Structure 1
Amino acid sequence: DKYTLEQSFTNHAHTGSVRSVACAPKLLASGSTDENIRIFSMSKRVDVGTLVEQQGTINCLQFFEDSHLFSCSEDSTICIWDVHNWECMKTLRGHKAGVNCISVHPSGKLLLSVSKDKTLRTWNLIKGRCAYITNLKAIASIVVWSPSGSLFAVLFDKRVDVYDISVGDVIHSIAVEHKAVCVSFLTKHIISVGTENGNIELHNIETKSVITTFEAHSNRVKDMFVTPSHNSWLFSISSDGFLKLWELDHNNLSKKPKLLTSVDTTCRPNRLTVWTNNAGESTDENIRRISDDDEKPMKRKKLK
C-alpha cells in the first residue's frame, strides 16, 4: 500500500510559538507562548474558541477521553478543563517553577507532572491534590505513562528513567550518547527515544537492552507518536521540517522500520499529535463555543 500525507487544515490563531498539541475524538487543542489554548473542531476544521486562564507558556496539553483537558504552564500551575462547558474545574498548585510536562494515567485517577523545580509530582485526581513528591537530581522535560499504566518514563537530557509503580522506583535507566529530546512507549516494554542528532532508538525495558538505532531525520527528532489503534505506526517530526510515518515490524524490531511516507512541512515543528477518525460521523454532544474577544461563552454549538 502507498500512503501520502496531505495538509487539510492550517491556522495562524496563535501570536506566539505553538509548544503543545493534543487531540480528542472531535477536538484539537493547541497551546502557545502567547499563554492561550486554542480549540478546534476536527469535523469542520475551524477554530471554535480560546481558553485563557494560565499566565505563562502552555507547555503541555492532554485530553482524557472526550471529557477533560489538562494543561500545564510556565506559571507553575496545572489546569483541569471540563470539555462540556469549558470551565476550569480545578487548578493544581504546588510546583515552584514552570511545569514542563504532564501525563494522565489511563484510568484517569492519577496525573504525573515534572517541573523546572526538579520534582516529579503524583496527583490524586479523585481528591484533586498532590499525593507524592519525588525529588529529582536534574530537570526533567517529559513524563509519560506506558499504555498499561504500570510503568512510566521520565526524560532527562542524556537519560531516560523508567519507573514501575508496583515498586515505586526506577527499574531501568537508559543512557543516550546524544541529547534525548522525546520519548514514547511503543508497547508495555518497548520504548522509543528521539535524539538531537536525528536518530530514534528502540529499547527493551525487560531485557534492559538496545534493540536498534536508526537514522530517522537529518536534525533533532522533536516529537514522536504511536497510533493507539495501530501500534505498528510511528510518526516522527524533526527540526529538519519533515513529518515521517514509519512502520514497525514487531516480530523483528531490530530491523530498521519501513518508511511509508514523508512530507516537508516547510516549517520547524515543535510538537506532534495524531488524530484518528474513530469518533463516528454523528454525535449529540454539545460543545460550547468561546468568543475571541471577551472569552464569554457564546451560544452552544453542536459539533458534527
Structure 2
Amino acid sequence: LASSSTDKQLRLYQYHLRPNLIDGSDSKLEFQYIDSIPSAHTRTVRSIDWSPKGDLLASGSFDSTASIWSSNHFEQKVNQAGLNSEDESGRPKSPILDGEEEGEESWECLMSLEGHESEVKGVSWNRNGNLLATCSRDKSVWIWEILIGNDSQENHNVMQDDEGYEVISVLMEHEQDVKSVCWSPVEDLLCSTSYDNNIHLYAEDVTADGDFTLLHRLKGHQSTVWDASFSPCGEYLASCSDDLSIRIWHREKLAQGGVEGRDGGLTGGWRIGRSERERWTCVSVLSGYHSRTIYSLDWTFATVHNQNESQCLGMIVSCGGDGIINVLKLVSFMTI
C-alpha cells in the first residue's frame, strides 16, 4: 500500500495476517509501515497509482510534474527483514532494522514527466501498464507511453529517445481544472473529470497516427466532478460531484465494428464514427448518502462468472467532506 501527502513524501506499507493464537479465531489484518521516499517532490503529492504489475509507482504533484518510481532492492529488503516473522509482542518485524536511512537506495526515480503548466491532480496507468495518463489544473490531459519495463515496445510513428517515455497525446478539451483521470479495466478508454462539471471519454484514433481523441462528453452533474471509476466489466461508469450526487452511466453499443488498436484488440482503435456507434447515458442518480462534497469513489473489481449483470456491478466505495465513507452494493438500475 502506498500513500501520498502534503509532506511531499511517499510512504509504503505491507499487510500482514497475524493469527489469533488464543482462541484460534480468524487472523487479524495489520498494515506495517516499511519504507518511504522522503523527497519525492517539492510540493504536495496529490495522486499516486501502482502499475498493473506492481513494479512501478507513479506520482503526481502540485510541483507540476509526475514521476515514476522503481525499486530493485525493495522486495529483497522486505524478504530479508522477514515480514512474516514476529517480534516479542507478536507484531510483524519492520524491515527498517539494519541502520539504513529510510528510503536509502530503496527507490529510484526512473523518470520525471514534465510538461504540465500547473499542478498535476491525477495519474492513472492503463491495464497493460504501457500508458500513463496525467491531468492538471492547466485544463489538460496528457497521455504518455512508458517504454521502460514493457516487454513489447512499438514505435507508433513516434521517435523513441533515451528518456524512457513519449508523449502520445495532449488533450485540451476541458474548460477548467481537470480533477482526475482513470482508465477502463478492459480497454484503452480514458475518462477525465473536471471543474467544468463535465466528464470526458477518450480513445485512440488509428486514423490519426495513434493520437487519442475525445469520444463523448457526459453532462448531468451540476457542479465540479471530482472523480470517476469504471465497473469491472467496463460497461458502467460511476462519477461523484460537488453537487452531492453519484451518477451511474451505462454504455450502449449501437453498432458493431472496429479495427485493431494499440493493444491488438478492439479496445481503442475504432475508426472515425465510434462515438456514433455507442452512447453513454445516465441510468441512476444516487443522492442523500453524503451531506458535503463527494471527493472520491472506487468500483470493486468483483469476479464476473457468467457475465451476470449483478455480479458485474459489484460495490462502490465513496468518501466525502462530511467524514463519511459509504459502501454501496449495486444490484440493478432503473433508467431515469
Displacement of 1:87 in angstroms is 1.5
Separation in structure 1 between the aligned mates of residue 9 and residue 47 of structure 2, nearest angstrom: 12
Q: Deviations over 1:220-247 (max 9, x none)?
A: 2121111213551111112121111111
Separation in structure 2 between the aligned mates of residue 244 and residue 172 of structure 1, nearest angstrom: 29
- Map 1:198-277 onto structure 2 (within 5 A): 198-206=244-252, 207-215=279-287, 216-230=289-303, 231-249=313-331, 252-254=332-334
Residue among 33, 45, 58 paired with 1:47? 33
- Taking a change above 3 Å as real, the CA distance of residues 178 and 118 of structure 1, as seen in their structure-2 partners, is closer
Displacement of 1:60 in angstroms is 0.5
Superposition TM-score, scaled by structure 2 size:
0.63
Separation in structure 1 between the aligned mates of residue 202 and residue 171 of structure 2, nearest angstrom: 12
- Give the equivalent residue in structure 2 for 1:97: 118
Relative contact order (C-alpha < 8 Å, sep 6+): which is higher?
A: 1
- Give the equivalent residue in structure 1 for 2:130: 109
**Contact preservation (8 Å) 1:110, 1:124:** yes
Displacement of 1:255 in angstroms is 8.2
- Give the equivalent residue in structure 2 for 1:182: 227
Quick check: which one's helix share is greater? 2
Residue among 64, 87, 97 paired with 2:108? 87
Percentage identity across aligned positions? Answer: 22
Displacement of 1:153 in angstroms is 0.8
Separation in structure 2 between the aligned mates of residue 153 and residue 83 of structure 1, nearest angstrom: 29
Q: Deviations over 1:250-294 (max 9, x none)?
A: xx22289xxxxxxxxxxxxxxxxxxxxxxxxxxxxxxxxxxxxxx
Separation in structure 1 between the aligned mates of residue 13 and residue 226 of structure 2, nearest angstrom: 27
The ranges of structure 1 where at least 4 consecutive aligned residues each deviate by more than 6 angstroms after the TM superposition are: none
Separation in structure 1 between the aligned mates of residue 294 and residue 60 of structure 2, nearest angstrom: 22
Separation in structure 2 between the aligned mates of residue 197 and residue 253 of structure 1, nearest angstrom: 21
Q: Which amino acid aligns with 2:281?
A: S
Q: Does 1:35 align with 2:81?
A: no
Residue among 243, 262, 278 paired with 1:197? 243
Q: Does 1:142 align with 2:180?
A: yes
Separation in structure 2 between the aligned mates of residue 83 and residue 255 of structure 1, nearest angstrom: 47
Quick check: which one's strand share is greater? 1
Separation in structure 1 between the aligned mates of residue 113 and residue 194 of structure 2, nearest angstrom: 24
**Contact preservation (8 Å) 2:249, 2:284:** yes
- Taking a change above 3 Å as real, the CA distance of residues 118 and 222 of structure 1, as seen in their structure-2 partners, is closer
Displacement of 1:209 in angstroms is 1.8
- Give the equivalent residue in structure 1 for 2:214: 170
**Alignment RMSD:** 2.0
**Contact preservation (8 Å) 2:138, 2:178:** no
Q: Which amino acid aligns with 1:179?
A: T
Q: Select the structure of larger CA radius of gyration.
A: 2
Displacement of 1:120 in angstroms is 1.6
Aligned pair count? 227
Q: Which amino acid aligns with 2:61?
A: S
Q: Deviations over 1:100-119 (max 9, x none)?
A: 11111111111111112222
- Give the equivalent residue in structure 1 for 2:50: 63
